[in-house]
Amino acid sequence: MAYPAESIININALISSAGLGTANFGAGMFFADFDSSSDATFTAGTYRDYGSASAVAVDFDIASDPYRAALAWFSALPKPKTLRVYLRIEEDTPVESLNDAINKGIWFYWHEFETAIRANIADVLALQAASDAAGKFWPLTTNDAAVRDPSLTTDVVSQARAKGSRRMFLLSHATAPYAGFELAAVFSRVNFNAANTTITGEFKKLPGITAENLTLTAYSAMKQKGAVFYTVVETGGEQDSGRVINSKTTSTYGEFIDDVFNLDAFVNFLTVGLYNALAKVPTKIKQTPEGQQILIDAAAQIGEKFIDNGYLGARNYTSETTGEEVLSRGYEVLTVANDILDISDAERSARGAAPITMRIFRAGAIHAVDVTVNVD
């Protein structure tokens, strides 16, 4: 028998784990009332996944809210892949239903409820706060005519806007019960891993939703109150039938839908990227400048990804360190590797890194143009 080479060369194979994956921001959930399903085997407090409105019609009557919501969701272009329907427990309040699904680990980002719940402003305001706190986005539709009256301030849009929660928008439509859910479905198809995929809600078309032709007073009231609307756009006798206008959330910060949606995704990707940088190393990341640089590079990779997908973009800004005007590609990592040399003994004992400070610049979206024509 020959002398084994393994007695000379001792190799340890260090296998990197898969780590975390990023969240699915395309996941939509409809909360159906406990008595809505026609299938007695559909147990309250559970959910089912559907790939089409016709599949939902197997378990719910075509006159029901779950089917009408599914019809709107699957009418979006490009078409969403799935819709999750949770059957509410009979005695639960809407907020309890929301929290029950979350506590059971049922993942969703967009969600909607039946029209009877949305007609109760107290329920709407309670769900608005609970949804925002849980990081869930509620694309509510209101058929309340008071939204279009500038003299009224007790309508659901005015009250929701006063609360200032970020993850909610209200689409005002006279008849369509789930137009906002269809707009959410358009956002659900954004692939943050692909190039030039981020979108704005402005000017989007909603197939199957009737575009409204309203008075200037109604349009002004909705814009002032912060309601999204779906309308005919006209000039010179020519019409573009069906465009989403005023695609803002109820956020105190005056954010558009895509502002909130994209930032949620960015934060999730950054969390996952930094976690995987720590957890997938088969040995360890040292508390040295070299180790700190690994984390800085992981943060920068997410910045690059969100430049590629269109969320971040070039911007001139004033540097806080030099006071000079600087051109950024879309983000700046302000932390440097040597910052870890100055962390406290307590931070070092707690196995911490130097805090990473990152500044990002949104690419935004152009919604309007001012033109000056000089005629000679």
For 56-98, how does the pLDDT look when each residue is reduced to its tens digit (9 = 90+)?
A: 999 999 999 999 999 999 999 999 999 999 999 999 999 999 9
- Cα–Cα distances (Å) from 57 to 41, 52, 66, 89, 331, in that order, read 15, 9, 9, 21, 47
For the chain, the average pLDDT equals: 96
Cis peptide before 78 (omega within 30 of 0): yes
Q: pLDDT band at 299, cuts 50/70/90?
A: very high
* Phi, psi (rounded to 5 degrees) for 8: -100, -45
pLDDT > 70: what percent of the chain?
99
Q: Does the pLDDT value for residue 116 go beyond 90?
A: yes
The predicted model gives 201-210 an average pLDDT of 97
Q: What three-state secondary structure class fits 153? A: coil
Q: pLDDT band at 11, cuts 50/70/90?
A: confident
pTM of structure = 0.94
For 23-67, how does the pLDDT look when each residue is reduced to its tens digit (9 = 90+)?
A: 999 999 999 999 999 999 999 999 999 999 999 999 999 999 999
Cβ(213)–Cβ(176) below 8 Å: no
For 228-273, how does the pLDDT look when each residue is reduced to its tens digit (9 = 90+)?
A: 999 999 999 999 999 999 999 999 999 999 999 999 999 999 999 9
Q: pLDDT band at 301, cuts 50/70/90?
A: very high
- What pLDDT, on the 0 to 100 scale, is given for residue 14? 67
Angstrom distance (rounded) from CA 230 to CA 228: 7
- What pLDDT, on the 0 to 100 scale, is given for residue 155? 97
Supply the Cα-derived Rg of the chain in whole angstroms.
25
Amino acid at 317: Y
CA torsion through residues 207, 98, 135, 353, sign: negative
